[in-house]
Amino acid sequence: EPSVPNPSLMSTPEMARRYPPAMAGSQGDASASSTVPSVGGAGPAVHSSAPPPEQLEYAAPPPGLTERLLVVQHHLPLSIGRRDDGSWKLEWDDRALLSTSVQGGRHLLGGLHLEVIFIGLPDAEVPPECEAELAELMRAFNCVPVFLPQPDGTDWTGFASIVLWPLLHNQIPDRHAGGRGGDGSLVPALYKAYNAFSDAYAAVVVETLRAGDMVWIHNYHLLLLPAKLRERFGRSCTPCIVSLFLHTPFPSPEIWRVLPYRKQLIEGMLAANVIGFHLFEYARHFMTSCRRLLGLGENVGAGPAGGVLTINLGTRHVTITVSHVGIERDVICHRLKQPEISLKLGEMTERYRVGGRKVIGGIEMFNPLQGAALKLLAYEQLLTNYPMWREQLVMLQICIPDRARPEQSEAYAAEMRGTVSRIHAKFGEESVKLIEVGVDIPPLGVNDRLVLLQMIDVYLNCAMRDGLNLLPFEYVATKSTRDPSSDGILVLSEFLGCARVLNGAMRINPFNLEHVVEQLDLALAMSPTERGARLAKDYDFVTANSTATWLKVAVTDMRRVRSTLAHSSFPAAAPTICLAGWAGGVRPGAPVPRLSLDAACRAYRQSSRRVILLGLDGTLIQQEQVINHLKNFHDFQGHSLAPPAAALHCLAALAADPANVIYIISGRSAIDMQAILGRVPNLGLAAELGFLATAMPHRLCLPANHPLTKPSTLPSTLPSTLPSTLPSTL
C-alpha cells in the first residue's frame, strides 16, 4: 500500500514526551535502517470575535510539540519474521513495489518538521499472546499495529478485494462480486466485515491521536474510516484534519451506481476534509457520483486564492485535490551506481539477452486487469506478422502472484503458461521468458527491479485498467542514466493512469492487437534521436513531479484546510451566485455575475435597512437535491423538501434583526412553504412565484401607494384552505 517515508529516520527528541502513553518508547536502532518502504465552510457573513470552542481543535499543535502526521494504510511497511532463537525480527520492507517512490520524500517531511507515525496491519500472523510484545518493538519504527481477531474466520478484506477493487477499475460486478456464489448472498456479510475492519482501525487511530494531528488515510480498504472518526468525535468537527487519498481509479457514475452500499461508501469518504486522486478524470467521476446519488454540488474556484475544487455539504466543504505521485530520481541514480547493480546487470544480460537480442518486457501481477496475457498475444502476433524480428527479440515477462485474489491469480497464470508454451513451439525457447516471482526467482527487491528495467529496450504495458503504476517512471529514470544511444521506449496502454502524464510514451489500445503490433514494430525500428527525444520529455516530467513534490502538496493541502477551519466561525456554506450585480443590476442577456462575498459583507455592514430576496429550490436547497427528490418521490413540486438545518439557522438569525426584511421566493404552494418555513419568525414567504406573499409592513417604510400597504385583492377563487397565518397579497 502506498505510504510516506519512515519517520524514525528523522530527529525526534523526547519521543515519550510527545507521544501519549500508548506510544511512548525509545527510538532504539531504527534510525540505522538503510531502506525505507513506500506506500503508496464558509457560511453567512456574520463573524464572531473568536472561533467557537469546537473549532479550536483544528489549530496547529501547541508550541514545543512537533506536528504529527498519522499515515493509516492497509499494511505496515515492515517485514516481520523470527530469528533462530525465536525472537521477533523487524526491518523496513524493501520489497514493496513502490519503495523508490517515497524514500526521497523522507527528507522533505523532516524539513516540514513532521513526525510521521504509521498505522496498519502487521504483514504476518501474530498470535494474540505476542501482540503486546510486537507492538512494543514497533515503537522504535514509529509504527502502531492494528490487530484483528483471527479465530473467527472473518474475511476482513473480502469486500475490498472481491467487490470494490474490480468495480473501481470499471468492472461490472459478476459472480465474484456477488460473493463467489452468484446470488450476492455473501455481499452483506462481506460488507459487515469491511465495516468492522474500519471500526478496528478507528479505535487504534483514536487511541494514538492528539489534537492538532493530521490523519492521512490511504486507499480503498478504508473508505469508511473518515466517517468512523467523525462519529467518534461528533459530527460538528474532529480534533484533527483527515485526508483520504485513493490510489486506484474511480469509476464512472454508471459503474459506481451498481455497487451495493454505494451511498454509505461515498458518505464515508465525504467525512474527510480532503480527498485526493491521481488524475482529474477520477476526481470528476467521484464528484459526478456525489451529485447524482447525494445531490451535492461542487464549487470551483473556492478559497482565498481561487482554484480550489470543493464539494459543498452545506455545513462544510470537502476539498478535492489531484496530484500524481512520482518517484525520486536521485534515489534511483544512487542505487544504479552501486557495484551490486553492475554485477547483476551483467548476469541477467548473459542469461536472457542471448545473441544480443532486443528485449521487450515488463513487470505485472497475475491479474487480468494488468493485461500480461494480452501482451503475450500481441508479441505472438508480432513474430507472426514480422518474421525479421523472430531472431532479434526476446520477451522478458516478470509476473508477481496476486495475493489478494489467489484463485484468480492462479487461473490467469495457467492461461499465460499455455500461451508461452505455444510461442515456444512456434518460435523457439529463446523467444519468450516467463519469470514467476516466488517460483523462478525470489521476491524482487528494489535493486533487482532496477536491473530488470535497465535490461528492457521496449517497456510494454497492455493494462486493461490500472491506477497507480510507477514502474514506467522508474524505467525512465534507469534509462536516462545511460548512454542516450541505448535509450529505451515506453509503449503504454491508454488505460494506464500514468499514460496520461508520460507524454513521450507511445499509447496503445490493448484490445486492438493489430494496433499494438504496429506500434511495437515502430518502436523497435525507431531512430535513436526520436527515442532520446521521447525519453527526455518523460524525464523532465519525472524529475519535476517527484515524490517530494507530491508529499509537499498533500501536507500543504491539509495544513491549509486546518488553518481555514481554525479561523472560521461560519456554521454553513455561503452562496456563490447572486441574482443581480452590485452596480446597477444585470442587463438582459448578460451573464449572471459572481457574488463577491467581500462586497456583500461590506454592503451589509454599511446599510441601515436591508431587503434580502432569496430563492428556495436551487438557492437554499441545492438544485441536485431538488432534482433527486422529484425523481425519487414523484412529486413535481418538491413537496416537503426543506432547506438544511444550517440554512434555517442562518435565516432565523437574519430575520431576527429588525433592520432586515427577508423574503423566500418559490414556485411552491403557500401550504408547502408554510409547512417547511413557517416556524421561522419574521420570515417573509412569497409562494407561487410571488403571487401569494406574507406582508410585513411593520418592517418597511413604504410609500402610501405601494401595493404592500393596500388591502389584499386576491381573486375569490383561491383555495379556502390557505392558512390564516399566511395573509395574501398581490
Please identify, among 512, 544, 576, the residue that sits at the C-terminal boundary of a domain: 544
Arithmetic mean of pLDDT, 16-29? 31
Q: CATH number of the domain that 109 lies in?
A: 3.40.50.2000
316 and 363 together in one domain = no
Tell me what percent of the residues of the chain surpass a pLDDT of 90: 31
Domain count of the fold of the chain: 3
Please identify, among 496, 522, 544, the residue that sits at the C-terminal boundary of a domain: 544
295 and 348 together in one domain = no
Contact status, residue 572 vs residue 41, Cβ threshold 8 Å:
yes
Range scoring the smallest mean pLDDT among 230-244, 450-464, 555-569, 716-730: 716-730
For every residue of 698-714, DSSP letters joined together read GG----TT-GGGSPP--
Q: What is the pLDDT of residues 664-711, one digit of tens each?
A: 998 888 888 888 888 888 898 888 877 777 766 455 444 445 554 444
Range scoring the smallest mean pLDDT among 13-22, 166-175, 208-217, 252-261: 13-22
pLDDT for res 440: 86
Please identify, among 322, 346, 375, the residue that sits at the C-terminal boundary of a domain: 322
Q: What is the pLDDT of residues 618-642, one digit of tens each?
A: 888 887 777 777 666 655 555 568 8
In sequence order, what are the residues at sequence separation of 6 or more whose Cβ sits closer than 8 angstroms to the Cβ of residue 284? none
Beta strands (DSSP E) in 421-502 are 432-436, 458-461, 489-493
Is residue 141 very low, low, confident or very high in pLDDT (cuts 50, 70, 90)?
confident
In sequence order, what are the residues at sequence separation of 6 or more whose Cβ sits closer than 8 angstroms to the Cβ of residue 301? 307, 308
Residue 422 lies in a domain: yes
Question: Higher model confidence: residue 198 or residue 303?
Answer: 198
> What's the chain's average pLDDT?
76
CA dihedral 436, 442, 448, 449 (to 10 degrees): 40
Confidence check: pLDDT of 161 > 90: no
135 and 248 together in one domain = yes
C-alpha grid cell for residue 648? 434555517
User: Which residue is it, cell 442577456?
Assistant: 589
Name the residue range of residue 418's domain. 338-544
CA dihedral 426, 430, 432, 434 (to 10 degrees): 120
Q: What is the pLDDT of residues 524-580, one digit of tens each?
A: 999 988 998 899 889 888 888 888 888 888 998 999 888 887 776 444 333 333 333
128 and 18 together in one domain = yes
Confidence check: pLDDT of 721 > 50: no
227 and 82 together in one domain = yes
Residue 108 lies in a domain: yes
275 and 139 together in one domain = yes
Rg (CA), the chain: 30
254 and 123 together in one domain = yes
Contact status, residue 212 vs residue 61, Cβ threshold 8 Å:
yes
Residue 289 lies in a domain: yes
For the chain, how are helix, strand and coil distributed in percent, rounded to 5? 40, 15, 40
Residue 302 lies in a domain: yes
Is residue 105 very low, low, confident or very high in pLDDT (cuts 50, 70, 90)?
very low
Is residue 33 very low, low, confident or very high in pLDDT (cuts 50, 70, 90)?
very low
Residue 549 lies in a domain: no
C-alpha grid cell for residue 625? 437535491
303 and 350 together in one domain = no
pLDDT for res 79: 83
CA distance between the termini of the chain: 65
Q: Specify which of 64-78, 326-340, 379-393 reaches the highest per-range mean pLDDT.
A: 379-393
In sequence order, what are the residues at sequence separation of 6 or more whose Cβ sits closer than 8 angstroms to the Cβ of residue 712? 727, 728, 729, 730
359 and 463 together in one domain = yes
pLDDT for res 468: 82
Confidence check: pLDDT of 460 > 70: yes
505 and 534 together in one domain = yes
Residue 561 lies in a domain: no
pLDDT for res 32: 30
For every residue of 573-628, DSSP letters joined together read PPP-B-SS-TTT---TTPPPPBP-HHHHHHHHHH-SSEEEEEETBTTTB-HHHHHH
Contact status, residue 260 vs residue 189, Cβ threshold 8 Å:
no
Confidence check: pLDDT of 50 > 60: no
pLDDT for res 336: 86
Angle of the 471-479 helix axis to the 329-336 helix axis, nearest 10: 60
Residue 374 lies in a domain: yes
pLDDT for res 302: 53
The secondary structure element, H or E, covering residue 454 is helix 446-455
363 and 297 together in one domain = no
Cα–Cα separations (whole angstroms), residue 275 to 208, 250, 308: 22, 12, 12
Q: Specify which of 31-40, 52-61, 207-216 reaches the highest per-range mean pLDDT.
A: 207-216
Residue 723 lies in a domain: no
295 and 351 together in one domain = no
